[in-house]
Structure 1
Amino acid sequence: MPVKIRLQRHGKKGKPFYWIVAADARAKRDGKFLEKLGIYNPNTNPATIEINVDNSVTWLNNGAQPTDTARAILSYKGVLLKHHLLGGVRKGALTEEQAEEKFNAWLAEKEKSVASKVSGLDQVKADAKAKALAAEKEVNEKRALAAAEAEVPEEIVESEIIVEEAATEVVEEAATEAPVVEAPVVEAPAAEAPVAEEPVVEAEAEEKAPEAPKEKK
């Protein structure tokens, strides 16, 4: 019976996670399986992978063939390396102690690499959080400044209105209290009648007229 080591899909739509199973190659992808070997959750960063190394090596030794995705996961967790080392032990190239020592050294190095990656991700998250807080603080400061600027003109307008009303009241009071001064009436002078000049010519004529002759007795 051909056996496949493959992924079996679980989870809800948009957020799947997988079981790593050994199943009959003729079975449906999400159907019955022979053994559950681990889990794979790609929704986390880094992805969460838990696998039973020894059982997986046993299935590989028995001829199980992993799919491409399953092979990448098995390689990441050191299953393929241990399978290779045990092959060297069977051939007499290595002792079991040497194979175990090599595998443990690889695991230690792998854990350091994963820890470094997780630390880097944590630093990135911390930086992103700090930037988000700084941006939020800047936005809040701008809002407060805008609110303050919006309040100041209202106060100025109110004070100007009050000053204008007070000035209007003062003008009205002054106009009410001030005495009314009547303008003096100036009579226009009467026109003088023109004086007729006596005719000079007639007077001169009268002076030059001869006296009438006296009658003789």
Structure 2
Amino acid sequence: MPLKIRLARGGSKKRPYYQIIVADARSPRDGRFLEKVGSWNPMLPKDSEKRVELNADLIKSWIAKGAQPTDRVLRFMAEAGLAERATRSNLDKGKPGKKAQERAAEKAQKAEDAAAAAAEASAAE
């Protein structure tokens, strides 16, 4: 049974509140879970101590049993010092695609050819 430590949404419309739970990965987001290990209230200010509450002992025991945290929960755990999260950097995302790079190279080549032709014409005069 693949276990996940993930968020389950609660609260009312436009007033979210999340429970950090341990559940089977195949169960629905707000469905059946095994244990509640914390909570997250995004409506509170970021410097509030009550914004993210984690039960460190329960989380460590579930990780020892093979539960995998989702990315958001892993961020909370890293802030609390319970886990190590590798920083991600997607620098290639902002680069243009292959076709756009080819078009830019063609355009640069045409501009270079036009400049060479203009220089040749002015030298011939």
TM bucket normalised to smaller: 0.5 to 0.7
1 CA distance for matches of 2:17 and 2:81? 21
Q: Specify which of 53, 58, 63 is matched with residue 60 of structure 1.
A: 63
Q: CA deviation at 1:74?
A: 1.2
List per-residue Cα deviations over 1:169-207 (Å, max 9, x = no partner).
xxxxxxxxxxxxxxxxxxxxxxxxxxxxxxxxxxxxxxx
Residue in 2 aligned with 1:23? 23
Residue in 2 aligned with 1:145? none
1 CA distance for matches of 2:45 and 2:62? 29
List per-residue Cα deviations over 1:138-191 (Å, max 9, x = no partner).
xxxxxxxxxxxxxxxxxxxxxxxxxxxxxxxxxxxxxxxxxxxxxxxxxxxxxx
Matched, 1:45 2:45: yes
Q: Is the 8 A contact 1:10 1:18 kept in 2?
A: yes
Q: Is the 8 A contact 1:57 1:80 kept in 2?
A: no
Question: Of Structure 1 and Structure 2, which has the larger fraction of its residues in strand?
Answer: 2
Which 5+ residue runs of structure 2 have no aligned equivalent? 85-125
1 CA distance for matches of 2:81 and 2:55? 11
1 CA distance for matches of 2:16 and 2:83? 25
Matched, 1:14 2:14: yes
Q: How big is the alpha-carbon RMSD for the aligned residues of Structure 1 and Structure 2? A: 1.1
Question: Of Structure 1 and Structure 2, which has the larger fraction of its residues in helix?
Answer: 1
AA aligned to 1:60 is I
Q: CA deviation at 1:35?
A: 0.4
Q: CA deviation at 1:70?
A: 0.9
Q: CA deviation at 1:18?
A: 0.1
Report the 3-state secondary structure (helix = DSSP H, G, I; strand = E; otherwise coil) of the residue aligned with 2:83.
helix
1 CA distance for matches of 2:10 and 2:83? 25
Report the 3-state secondary structure (helix = DSSP H, G, I; strand = E; otherwise coil) of the residue aligned with 1:80.
coil
AA aligned to 1:17 is Y
Q: Is the 8 A contact 1:5 1:64 kept in 2?
A: yes
Give the count of matched residue pairs: 81
Residue in 1 aligned with 2:96? none
* TM-score, normalised via structure 2 length: 0.62
Which 5+ residue runs of structure 1 have no aligned equivalent? 82-217
2 CA distance for matches of 1:57 and 1:79? 8
2 CA distance for matches of 1:10 and 1:25? 18
Q: CA deviation at 1:78?
A: 1.8
Larger RCO (CA under 8 A, 6+ residues apart):
2
Structure 1 residue ranges (4+ consecutive) displaced by more than 4 angstroms after TM superposition: none
AA aligned to 1:51 is L
Report the 3-state secondary structure (helix = DSSP H, G, I; strand = E; otherwise coil) of the residue aligned with 2:44.
coil
Report the 3-state secondary structure (helix = DSSP H, G, I; strand = E; otherwise coil) of the residue aligned with 1:79.
coil
